[in-house]
Amino acid sequence: MLSQVWAWAFLGSLVVFFVIAIQIVSDGTVNFLTIRNSQNILVAITPILLLGLGQTFVIIGAGIDLSVGWVMSLASVLSALAIRAAFNAGLPLPAAVVAGLAAAVAGGALVGLFNGVIIAKLKVPAFIVTLGTSFIVRGIALLLSQNTTVIGLPRGVRSYGNDALIYLIRGEGGGIYFFERPEVTGALLRRMDRILPYPVLMTALVVAIAIFVLRKTQFGRHTYAIGGSQEAALRTGIRVDRHIILLYVMSASTAGIAGFLSTLRFTAGSAVIGDPLLLSSIAAVIIGGVSLYGGAGTVIGTVIGALIIAVLVTGLVMLNVQAFWQFIVVGTVVILAVLIDQSRDLIVGRAKRR
């Protein structure tokens, strides 16, 4: 698990590597450091990050949540069904979208509650409970969606999931536009960059809240305490059971937001959207320095972890490396991150945890 300085340094050197390598490979025709590419990376990390945020809290609290991938899928289906139903019932589009968010978060929270109660009250290991839940949720998501993509959403949903705060058209006839997508075509469209799409902004807001909660509130402090020593937390009177339940509710709720945003992005609900992202999100958390033993880690670390994965994947694609290599590289980085962290402990001579 990389310390934060290491992680930033690693991310920086990755970017430098790809800038140079892509310049060389493409004979200077392709640039890694463009606005468009940076925004693509941001869009790519939003689901990984949202899944990883709740996970960060859960793992710092010495748990694990394997169900977030399928919870995201379930939430995507639920929000699509809710938006469609609300809109068909005559609600205005914004209200229908809010109903979709509510359905996604409530559905997620319910699964989290189920996880948390069984883990905290019935003392079943989190790994087993959330593994079981992920199958159950998978079944429910596929049943609800009839094993097909939920479509028939109002057209306007697309702009919620894809519009950006700023549009920049470079060169002749260009300009800068805010809030709304300018109606342009042809060459102008090709020169237009979307900066800060709304899903990215929403994710940034959730990240900011997560940073605040973990660092500055009693909830965050108790999360570290429970992860450090559940026994100590119990003896000081912290309501450990309730706290653990809340951690899983939080984790499933952020996964719910991820599902909601994917529905907006694709104007459709998908029961298979989340599962492939689960392991990437855990990888981001681990690369970002959260200890799997609990008690250590930060939200910013997870953000850097997600960025490292996204930069790697995007960079390799731009280098025309066959896609399957991405998996091999990301896996290697996860293991290296843990190895570097351990050797750092050896060098500094810090006592090993547990």
Choices 40-48, 154-162, 216-224, 253-261; region in contact with another protein by CB under 8 A: 216-224
120-159 residues in contact with another protein (CB under 8 A) are none
- Least Å distance, CB 224 to another protein, is 6
* Residue 216 contacts another protein per CB under 8 A: yes
* Residue 180 contacts another protein per CB under 8 A: no
Which one among 235, 322, 324, 346 touches another protein, defined by CB under 8 A?
235
- Least Å distance, CB 137 to another protein, is 32
How many residues belong to the site for another protein (CB under 8 A)?
Answer: 23
Q: Binding pattern to another protein, positions 258-297, x when CB under 8 A? A: -------------------------------------xx-
Which one among 94, 135, 189, 231 touches another protein, defined by CB under 8 A?
231
Alpha-carbon torsion (18, 19, 21, 27), positive or negative: positive
Which one among 3, 23, 159, 229 touches another protein, defined by CB under 8 A?
229
Residue labelled with tokens 């890694």: 32
Choices 9-17, 39-47, 107-115, 235-243; region in contact with another protein by CB under 8 A: 235-243
* Residue 350 contacts another protein per CB under 8 A: yes
What residues line the site for another protein (CB under 8 A)?
216-218, 220-222, 224-225, 227-229, 231-233, 235-238, 295-296, 350-351, 353
